[in-house]
């Protein structure tokens, strides 16, 4: 603990996020023998998370144009990145029923199942840890992460 305290808070924040991510990856790799995440690059994971955020509210897949805008890359880079992720079985492309030339990009079925399993695992783990953290600090933690997200979104 004393060794940890010497590091700035944001570094320990990263470390705790990495510890949670590693826990899920390790556990699922043990249980399912499957680890679709560890060999993705940071950039690819960012793209997957954008598509996840977009589609989890029940909306259909993203158009390439929307994805490129959100990821702040050119449509042609976005297209190259999507191709690589489709080949890896991470993303899926489907033609739009409304417009046959348009294509919607979403997470593949296997990746969706993997992420659901990971969600469940982390919900359970957090339920355990939250009793140690306690109600007061849980509320405080929630406020802090929301402030960080909001502040970093507004300074873009």
**Which parts of this chain interact with a second copy (CB under 8 A)?**
1, 4-5, 8-23, 25, 37-43, 45-46, 49, 119, 122-123, 125-126, 128-129, 132-133, 136-138, 140-153, 155
Which class for 5: exposed (0-12), middle (13-18), buried (19 or more C-beta within 10 A)?
Answer: exposed
Shortest distance, position 35 Cβ to a second copy, whole Å: 9
Helix (H) or strand (E) holding 3: helix 2-5
Report yes or no: 22 and 121 within 8 Å, Cβ to Cβ. no
The answer to whether 47 and 36 are in contact (CB under 8 A) is: no
Q: How far is the CB of 99 from a second copy (least distance, A)?
A: 28
Helix (H) / strand (E) element for 95: namely strand 91-95
Instruction: Compute the least distance from the CB of residue 32 to a second copy, in Å.
Output: 17
Cβ closest to a second copy, residue 99 vs residue 146:
146
Minimum CB distance to a second copy smaller for 39 or for 98: 39
Ramachandran region of residue 11, left (φ > 0), alpha (ψ -120 to 50) or beta?
alpha
Shortest spacing between CB 45 and a second copy, in angstroms:
7
Nearer to a second copy, 89 or 95 (CB): 89
């Amino acid at each position: 603990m004393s060794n940890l305290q010497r590091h700035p808070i944001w570094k320990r924040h990263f470390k705790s996020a990495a510890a949670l991510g590693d826990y899920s990856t390790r556990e699922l790799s043990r249980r399912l023998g499957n680890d679709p995440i560890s060999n993705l690059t940071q950039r690819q994971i960012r793209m997957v998370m954008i598509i996840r955020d977009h589609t989890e509210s029940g909306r259909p897949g993203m158009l390439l144009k929307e994805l490129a805008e959100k990821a702040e890359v050119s449509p042609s880079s976005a297209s190259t990145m999507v191709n690589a992720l489709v080949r890896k079985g991470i993303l899926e492309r489907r033609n739009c029923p409304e417009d046959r030339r348009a294509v919607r990009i979403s997470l593949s079925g296997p990746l969706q199942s993997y992420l659901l399993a990971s969600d469940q695992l982390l919900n359970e783990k957090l339920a355990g840890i939250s009793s140690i953290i306690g109600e007061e600090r849980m509320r405080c933690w929630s406020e802090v992460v929301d402030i960080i997200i909001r502040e970093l979104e507004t300074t873009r």
